[in-house]
Structure 1
């Protein structure tokens, strides 16, 4: 019997999906698996999702014009608990229909306390992806309590139990990973005066005013490489706008410093590429990016600039500090066996429910 994995993918930004794809590929590489992604907005990424992975598109859970009885409500054990949203009801029905059609399944949740609790209340074992930030609220604690396993896709050195919760006994700290882990070692071609500004897909505090501020402060021989969706400033000799790139690695390789937010996927990519990094954490639920940035600063991995200071700091001095960072420290963050370890624990968890007599492979 193949391993049947339902994988819920949160829709904010692209990082959750990229992580899901990486984990799913590791699972398929090791065993006979039937994997189905459940999520909103997945269809537009169908070309990036391996063909052997099924996709169930879930409707959005936000109120529509037809939801005339909609009203908000706060419930301590849930993060999102409105009344009378048809899309919310429909998506839960689709999730339950998947579980009903595949009762011998394991649900990996990245991330949703509500989906975790829905699965567990349906008798479906769950594995939850753990994130940085203040996760001590009741909804997170219930999700973590009910999960068979928690996967933290970073090393334990980046963890803050006082914020994330004391669940280390059931947490796999896999170490970090990204799509760049398998790149062959390449010569250092970075130019000291080439600077990348990496704009993530999950929302950013970067804008054209910030780009102009960088330009004004830096000498003319500096060149700014702006990667991502950002309002295009007027043409300048030392600013290059690339828009969204399927693979920004060639541009990042030529830059001595990367300025970015503290999204998980972004940080793991600069870690894999061993880039000197200036991190400007953006506001996120549960202060996720602030917590991640604090860990990076504590470990000497990045220079951190607060959003409130990004328009007033001395950027030439910030870049000088960044150039003094020891990029070899990123080796403590990225673990080349991370995906193998995650896949192994997922299979072990599945076997504990459905294959108790199967010999360890």
Structure 2
């Protein structure tokens, strides 16, 4: 099996969550490169290399041209932190053979690793990824890993695309909980604006007979599986991990896509609405709209099998292992 490298972007918790879902199914040694701190209880045969931030707070020099005239997304001239993080990756590859390298996500790291002679598995995301930098990263990859079911999104990848289904950390868990009538769970990982608690309090006041709770932000729950099963309705953003977790739990949900680059969550919300998997709202509903929105969610009979969660993490690991083997 050899050595697998794995780059994890530091924005949010989703990239790390996806790694932790796939890693148990991937044989061999894995070295992770990320600006995130190493989590507790790393899986066996897993090494964590901490990188400098690609925007470490130092002012970018004038004329830094971070996109190299539109060819890249982030490669500022004269940025010491950016140079150091790539140097760490180069030093590791020069010192030990890597058989494959998963990049989740960075155009620049994907191209850099490929230039160093290592085959890449690039994780793609929903939305409009047809710009030049994304196309270049996909064209250079041995595999393009899509964490959604076949046909859910259009991808500009011309070869090597593997649509594995939604990757959830809860795949394989037993659904032995029964929804508690009147309960509403808000997953705050993607909807956690600064005033989320106030919004939830107002929504609860506008829906007598309901009991609202938040999982995320200041009320972080390490393992919300039981809370997902107990909730009559779940309110969530349209991030890939959140949607995969809703599918794993078979939840009735209200999904509020958040503004993200390339309209990532808008694209996912469109698929969910078209297939009647969730009630999709373009923004957080007004207080007096919540009674109707919750009734619509309660009336759903979502066929979450469409999201392809069962076995997705295993299929992702198989697609990775095939590269360089």
TM-score interval, normalised by the smaller of the two chains: over 0.9
Does 2:289 align with 1:314?
A: yes
Residue 100 of structure 1 deviates from its aligned partner by 0.7
CA 166–344 in structure 1, closer or farther in 2 if over 3 Å, else same: closer
Aligned-partner SS, 1:16? helix
Does 2:56 align with 1:41?
A: no
Does 2:320 align with 1:325?
A: no
Q: Distance in 2 between matches of 1:13 and 1:317?
A: 31
Aligned-partner SS, 1:350? coil
Does 2:276 align with 1:300?
A: yes
* Root mean square deviation of aligned Cα: 2.0
Does 2:263 align with 1:274?
A: no
Q: Deviations over 1:110-161 (max 9, x none)?
A: 01001001011111110111110110110000000000111111101321x2
Quote the residue 2:54 is aligned against.
61
Higher Rg: 1
Q: Distance in 1 between matches of 2:49 and 2:320?
A: 21
Structure 1 counterpart of 2:96, from 98, 102, 109: 102
Residue 165 of structure 1 deviates from its aligned partner by 1.5
Structure 1 counterpart of 2:323, from 349, 352, 356: 349
Q: Distance in 2 between matches of 1:104 and 1:83?
A: 28
Q: Deviations over 1:74-128 (max 9, x none)?
A: 3312111222111100000001011111234211100100100101111111011
Q: Distance in 2 between matches of 1:339 and 1:68?
A: 39
Q: Distance in 1 between matches of 2:60 and 2:142?
A: 39
Residue 7 of structure 1 deviates from its aligned partner by 0.4
- TM-score normalised per structure 2: 0.93
Quote the residue 1:223 is aligned against.
211
Residue 293 of structure 1 deviates from its aligned partner by 0.9
Quote the residue 2:17 is aligned against.
18
CA 349–51 in structure 1, closer or farther in 2 if over 3 Å, else same: closer
CA 114–14 in structure 1, closer or farther in 2 if over 3 Å, else same: same
Structure 1 gap segments, 5+ residues each: 231-242, 352-361
- TM-score normalised per structure 1: 0.84
Does 2:195 align with 1:249?
A: no
CA 290–206 in structure 1, closer or farther in 2 if over 3 Å, else same: farther
CA 293–200 in structure 1, closer or farther in 2 if over 3 Å, else same: same
Q: Distance in 1 between matches of 2:64 and 2:199?
A: 36
Quote the residue 1:173 is aligned against.
163
Quote the residue 1:191 is aligned against.
180
Aligned-partner SS, 1:154? coil
Higher RCO structure, 1 or 2 (CA under 8 Å, sep 6+): 2
